[in-house]
C-alpha cells in the first residue's frame, strides 16, 4: 500500500511503499533529509510526527528523552509509516547545509572502458554513508594513493554506492593510479562534499544539460536526482564526445530517451581539445531557439572551451545569469 508523507516546513510530499523506513523512502524520492549514521546511533535524523502513525522497525541506541517522545519525536531511520503522515524534519535547502565528511570506502569495482575513461564504484560502510547533493564533488585518495577532486556521478538516493568517471590523463598521478594500480577491495578516503553545481529544485522550468566527455558524471547525478524528485517538464541532454565509443554510457541515455516522453537525448560528435565550439549549433540540435532561452535552466559540465562558449552565447541572447550553472572542476 502506498503511503503519502509530507515534510515540513518545505511542504514536499513523497510516497512510501512496503516497509521502508522514513529516511530511506525520503532519500529515494530525492529529498535532502538530514541524517548521519542512518543506523540509530547519532540522532541526526530526529523528526517530529505532526499527524499520522509510524511503527518502529529497528532498535536504536540513541536515547530520545521521555519529553521528546511524548511530543512525537522519532528517528526517521528506525521507523516506517503505517498511515499517511505529516513530519517535521531537517532538510537541506542548499549545499551550505551539507556537512563536511570523512569516510573510508572500499572499491567494489573498476572498469577500464578505454584509454580515456575508467569507471569506479565505491561502497561506503553501512553506518557511515556519504550525504551529498547531486552534482557535488569530493576529494578522493589519501593514505597510499594520490589525491584528486572528482564529481560524484551517482544519485544521492543511493548513498552507500558511489560512482565516479575518471578520465585517463597521462602524467596525472591519481589517473595513473586508477588505470594501473587500483584493485577491487582497495580502500579510498573520501572527503567532502563540495561544490554548488546543484539542481535548482524550486524552479518550474525545463532542464537543459550539456556535458563534454566525463562531464557526464555530475550531469548524470543531476538527471537521476531530477528523476527521483519526479520533476515535471522536459529534460534535454546533449552529450558531446569525440565519437560514440567515448560516450561510454550511451545506452543509459538512450534508455532514458525511450522510457520518458519528455526526455530529449542528443549525442554530438566533436573534439573539444583543439577546435572552437559552435554553441549555437549545440542548441539548434536540441531544438532550443535563441528567443526562448529564458524558458529553461541550463547546466553545463565540461572544459573551459565548452563552458565559456555556451555561457557567452546564452547570456548574449538574453538568458538570466541565475538560470545558468557551470561545472569546470572536472578533468577533461
pLDDT at 77: 93
Evaluate whether 7 touches 108 at the Cβ level (below 8 Å).
no
What is the SS3 assignment for 264? strand
pLDDT at 276: 65
Q: Considering only CA atoms, which of 116, 75, 90 is closest in space to residue 31?
A: 90
Cα dist from 259 to 237, 253, 255, 263, whole Å: 14, 10, 6, 8
Q: Considering only CA atoms, which of 30, 25, 22, 29 is closest in space to residue 46?
A: 22
Domain 98-194 falls in which CATH fold? Elongation Factor Tu (Ef-tu); domain 3 (2.40.30)
E strands present in 185-282: 187-194, 207-212, 235-241, 263-269
Angle at 290 between CA 288 and CA 295, to 5 degrees: 65
pLDDT at 331: 55
Helix-strand-coil split of the chain, %, nearest 5:
25, 35, 40
pLDDT at 93: 85
**DSSP assignment letter at 63:** P
Q: Distance from CA of residue 332 to its chain's centroid?
A: 19
E strands present in 36-160: 46-51, 54-56, 73-75, 79-81, 85-88, 101-114, 117-123, 137-142, 145-151
Q: pTM of the predicted model, to two decimals?
A: 0.91
Q: Does domain 207-327 have CATH number 3.50.50.60?
A: no
Evaluate whether 107 touches 170 at the Cβ level (below 8 Å).
no
Evaluate whether 121 touches 112 at the Cβ level (below 8 Å).
no
pLDDT at 274: 56
pLDDT for 262-318, tens place per residue? 999 999 998 766 566 788 999 999 999 998 999 999 999 998 888 999 999 999 999
DSSP states of 125-165 as a string?
A: -TTSPPP--TT-EEEEEETTEEEEEEE--S-TTSTTEEEEE
Q: Which three cell numbers stand for residue 129?
A: 554513508
- 3-91 in CATH: which number? 3.10.20.30
pLDDT at 105: 96
Q: Where are the domains of the chain?
A: 3-91, 98-194, 207-327
pLDDT at 88: 96
Round to whole Å and give the CA distance between 325 and 298: 6
Which residues of the chain register pLDDT less than 70? 1, 272-276, 329-332
Amino acid at each position: 500500500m502506498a503511503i503519502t508523507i509530507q515534510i515540513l516546513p518545505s511542504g514536499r510530499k513523497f510516497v512510501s511503499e512496503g516497509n521502508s523506513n522514513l529516511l530511506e523512502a525520503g532519500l529515494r524520492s530525492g529529498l535532502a533529509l538530514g541524517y548521519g549514521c542512518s543506523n540509530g546511533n547519532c540522532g541526526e535524523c530526529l523528526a517530529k510526527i505532526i499527524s499520522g502513525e509510524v511503527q518502529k522497525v529497528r532498535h536504536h541506541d540513541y536515547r530520545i528523552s521521555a519529553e521528546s517522545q511524548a511530543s512525537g519525536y522519532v528517528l526517521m531511520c528506525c521507523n516506517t509509516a503505517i498511515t499517511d503522515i505529516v513530519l517535521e524534519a531537517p532538510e537541506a535547502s542548499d549545499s551550505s547545509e551539507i556537512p563536511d565528511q570523512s569516510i573510508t570506502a572500499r572499491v567494489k569495482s573498476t572498469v577500464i572502458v578505454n584509454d580515456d575513461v575508467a569507471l569506479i564504484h565505491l561502497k561506503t560502510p553501512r553506518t557511515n554513508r556519504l550525504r551529498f547533493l547531486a552534482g557535488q564533488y569530493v576529494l578522493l585518495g589519501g593514505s597510499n594513493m594520490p589525491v584528486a577532486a572528482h564529481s560524484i556521478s551517482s544519485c544521492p538516493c543511493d548513498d552507500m554506492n558511489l560512482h565516479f568517471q575518471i578520465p585517463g590523463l597521462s602524467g596525472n598521478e591519481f589517473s595513473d593510479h586508477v588505470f594501473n594500480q587500483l584493485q577491487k577491495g582497495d580502500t579510498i578516503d573520501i572527503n567532502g562534499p563540495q561544490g554548488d553545481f546543484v539542481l535548482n529544485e524550486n524552479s518550474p522550468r525545463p532542464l537543459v544539460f550539456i556535458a563534454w566527455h566525463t562531464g557526464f558524471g555530475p550531469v548524470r547525478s543531476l538527471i537521476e536526482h531530477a528523476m527521483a524528485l519526479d520533476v515535471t517538464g522536459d529534460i534535454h541532454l546533449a552529450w558531446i564526445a569525440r565519437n560514440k565509443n567515448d560516450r561510454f554510457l550511451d545506452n543509459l541515455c538512450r534508455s532514458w530517451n525511450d522510457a520518458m516522453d519528455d526526455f530529449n537525448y542528443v549525442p554530438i560528435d566533436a573534439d573539444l581539445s583543439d577546435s572552437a565550439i559552435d554553441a549555437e549549433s549545440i542548441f539548434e540540435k536540441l531544438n532550443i531557439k535563441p528567443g526562448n532561452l529564458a524558458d529553461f535552466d541550463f547546466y553545463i559540465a565540461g572544459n573551459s572551451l565548452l563552458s565559456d562558449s555556451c555561457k557567452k552565447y546564452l547570456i548574449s541572447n538574453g538568458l538570466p545569469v541565475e538560470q545558468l550553472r557551470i561545472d569546470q572542476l572536472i578533468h577533461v
